[in-house]
A and B are shown apart, each in its own frame.
Chain A
Amino acid sequence: MTDSTMTTRQKVEASMRRRRAAETRFRLYGMASVLFGLLCLVVLFGDIFSKGTSAFSQTVLTTTIEIDGDYLDITPDSSESDIMSANYDGLIKRHFKNDVQPKGRSEARSLFSLISSGAGWQIQSQVLEDPSIIGKTVTVDLLVDDDVDQWFKHEYGNDSGSVRLSEKQLEWITGWIDSDALKTQFNTTFFVNGDSREPELAGIRGAITGTLLTLLVTFLLSFPIGVAAAIYLEEFAPKNRLTEIVEININNLAAVPSITFGLLGLAIFINIFGVSRSTPLVGGLVLTLMTLPTIIISGRAAIKAVPPSIREAALGLGASKMQTVFHHVLPLAMPGMLTGTIIGMAQALGETAPLLMIGMIAFVVDVPGFINDPSTVLPVQIFLWSDSPERAFTERTSGAIMVLLGFLIIMNTAAVMLRRRLERRW
């Protein structure tokens, strides 16, 4: 059957098969892309979660210890500074020496290394809280060293030895396990402490507080400035060469690598204006520079999307330019502007590079109290920990990533809900 003998209908029929195949193929490509994306997400989340969940539990050693007032040289009536400066480390060492009876100094040292160096502070804070326990015998859950923690959480029961722990140390630990003294509990330290060199004492509270303060500064600066700039450029600015150049450069700014903003912040905010480095204030200033283009561009798009008929209606009634903008255009554009702002803030939340340049990579133990206290932020904390050799830091890295992801999800959900509510009003 040649073409000339076919009717139009037959030709259409013949081409249908090809078209249907093309459509099916295209649908399959689409599904494959979505599946690939989902797979990547599952692998990523699976990896992080499998590594990170153990960061939320911590091994402790339950032991009964006498708070010996004579040894510590304090009484329940001692002053706070005396109680604070007493030798609790020595007390713990003496306790375990009597308890386990190590032979010789080197064995004693390897015994003490099983207990966290933070154990002394644990006793100290308990005594500070309730000085009446001085002289009494109390049961405490002492933090163990990260090597013990990792072995107990991951290798105990596998019958494998440990690279980090000696035969003798394992013997002591097994003894504790047999007497049910060793157990894991929820790792509150991870959420209430700042950073530390010791993984079992390291926490993300400092980083979270730093992040919140930094984002607060970023939001307080970038939202009003961004919205004002968007309104001015879209509604009031004359359309001339100058505004065109401004517009092009705002778009350029959005594409500038973020580390460049860090250099700018270092040169201008720190070196010229003398803002103290490593603080949420300077971090927020730098992130403001980075977020502004996003907010301005999305804000302008949102303003542009407001139908001109609404503007005409208001102007036709005798509303002034400003009344038109603030009574009608802005409320309608607000959902779009908020979306842009949240996207910008989410970017800022995950930003690391520019903050490295302004010193937020510093090792900060204290939780910042205000925007001019030295601090770090979550992504930088993750970066710092991922660089540490200890295995316990590896799991804490993943744990911190989970917290960061949690924040992102909360922010995005809030954005979506906020937008829905605002949109329903109109």
Chain B
Amino acid sequence: MSIIENHETVGSPLSEGAKLRARDVCVFYGEKQAIYNVSLDIRQNEVIALIGPSGCGKSTFLRCLNRMNDTIDICNVTGEILLDGDNIYDPRVDVVPLRATVGMVFQKPNPFPKSIYDNIAYGPRIHGLASSRVELDEIVEKSLQRAGLWNEVKDRLHAPGTGLSGGQQQRLCIARTIAVDPEVILMDEPCSALDPIATAKIEELIDELRENYTIAIVTHSMQQAARVSQRTAYFHLGQLIEVNATDKVFTTPEHQLTEAYITGRFG
């Protein structure tokens, strides 16, 4: 514990022209502090992996980035998170457009109990993204194609989304997220409920999505972090310990805690 008191993040957490900038973010659940002064920049078109042992605050931090923590009454966030320079915690900011810009994919696949088509079309519908039925059909097809699910479901678009396999459901959720054309996608352990084959497909998908989106992914699998991300941030007990290029983190970590974690001494 003594090592990380008044800890300064090592490595390169900040960078020029980042898409999302977090500055001195602290999160409290009631009296309990979950995150301590985290400052981190997320660059355009990069995949950043957030790793760390259970309860280190990486999911909490991720959920701050599109204010999903607002749904928890006792949760209190201080500090600033800037999306393209605008503080998303400004009282004047409406979370609805924010969440359309910063989409989220959850740990457990959570398709709506509706048809595959309606699952994808829901976001565009509520945001008024399609002006006609044809346009909506196009969005649905494009989103499913991007998520690599089109060929598997094109013949049964009106079958319930809950009838798909776990991996397909998760890709459906990713397709649903990209259907509203977000700029940033947050993924909270998107593969933890999936088998290795489904996981491989999703990882491939994440790599493809990087071209168009900025992605932050929380993962428990260090191999996954190594495979999909360009930069890796290591969290420990609510502190951001180290941020570096993924190669560097997994080969020559700067901080001893990072090294202990990736070599499997704890976590």
Binding site for B on A (CB under 8 A): 238-239, 307, 309-320, 323, 327-328, 332, 426
**Whole-angstrom CA separation of A328 from B122 in the bound complex:** 11
- Please give the distance in Å from B18's CB to the nearest CB on chain A: 22
Summarize B's interface: helix, strand, loop or mixed.
helix
- State whether the Cβ of B103 lies closer than 8 Å to any Cβ in chain A: yes
Summarize A's interface: helix, strand, loop or mixed.
helix
Given A239-B73, A328-B112, CB of A317 within 8 Å of CB of B106: no
> Are B103 and A317 touching (Cβ within 8 A)?
yes
**Whole-angstrom CA separation of A318 from B68 in the bound complex:** 10
The 22 listed contacts between A and B (C-beta, < 8 Å) are: A238-B73, A309-B106, A309-B108, A310-B112, A312-B71, A312-B106, A313-B112, A314-B112, A314-B122, A315-B99, A316-B103, A316-B104, A316-B177, A317-B103, A317-B126, A317-B176, A317-B180, A318-B96, A318-B97, A318-B126, A320-B96, A328-B112
**Whole-angstrom CA separation of A315 from B71 in the bound complex:** 9
> Are B100 and A318 touching (Cβ within 8 A)?
yes
B-side contacts of A328, CB under 8 Å: 112
- Closest 9 CB pairs between A and B? A318-B100, A309-B110, A316-B104, A318-B99, A426-B113, A313-B110, A317-B123, A318-B96, A320-B96
| Residues of B164-187 whose CB lies within 8 A of A | 173, 176-177, 180
- State whether the Cβ of B258 lies closer than 8 Å to any Cβ in chain A: no
A-side contacts of B156, CB under 8 Å: none
Interface centre among A315, A317, A320 (most CB of B within 10 A): A317
B-side contacts of A313, CB under 8 Å: 106, 110-112, 173, 176
- Please give the distance in Å from B95's CB to the nearest CB on chain A: 8
4 other contacts beyond A313-B110, A315-B68, A318-B99, with CB at 8 A cut-off?
A312-B106, A314-B112, A316-B106, A320-B96
- State whether the Cβ of B248 lies closer than 8 Å to any Cβ in chain A: no
A-side contacts of B104, CB under 8 Å: 312, 316
- State whether the Cβ of B37 lies closer than 8 Å to any Cβ in chain A: no
> Are B113 and A312 touching (Cβ within 8 A)?
no
> Are A318 and B127 touching (Cβ within 8 A)?
yes
Give the residue of A238, A311, A318, A320 whose beta carbon is less than 8 angstroms from that of B180: A318
Interface centre among A309, A312, A328, A332 (most CB of B within 10 A): A312
Give the residue of A239, A312, A319 whose beta carbon is less than 8 angstroms from that of B110: A312
- Please give the distance in Å from B14's CB to the nearest CB on chain A: 27
> Are A316 and B99 touching (Cβ within 8 A)?
yes
| Residues of B105-131 whose CB lies within 8 A of A | 106, 108, 110-113, 122-123, 126-127
- Please give the distance in Å from B105's CB to the nearest CB on chain A: 8
B-side contacts of A314, CB under 8 Å: 112, 122
Given A317-B176, A317-B177, CB of A332 within 8 Å of CB of B66: no
- Please give the distance in Å from A38's CB to the nearest CB on chain B: 38
**Whole-angstrom CA separation of A316 from B108 in the bound complex:** 13
Closest residue of chain B to A313, judged by CB? B110
- 0/1 interface trace, chain B 210-239, chain A, CB 8 Å (1 if under): 000000000000000000000000000000
**Whole-angstrom CA separation of A312 from B71 in the bound complex:** 9
A-side contacts of B111, CB under 8 Å: 313
- Please give the distance in Å from A105's CB to the nearest CB on chain B: 81
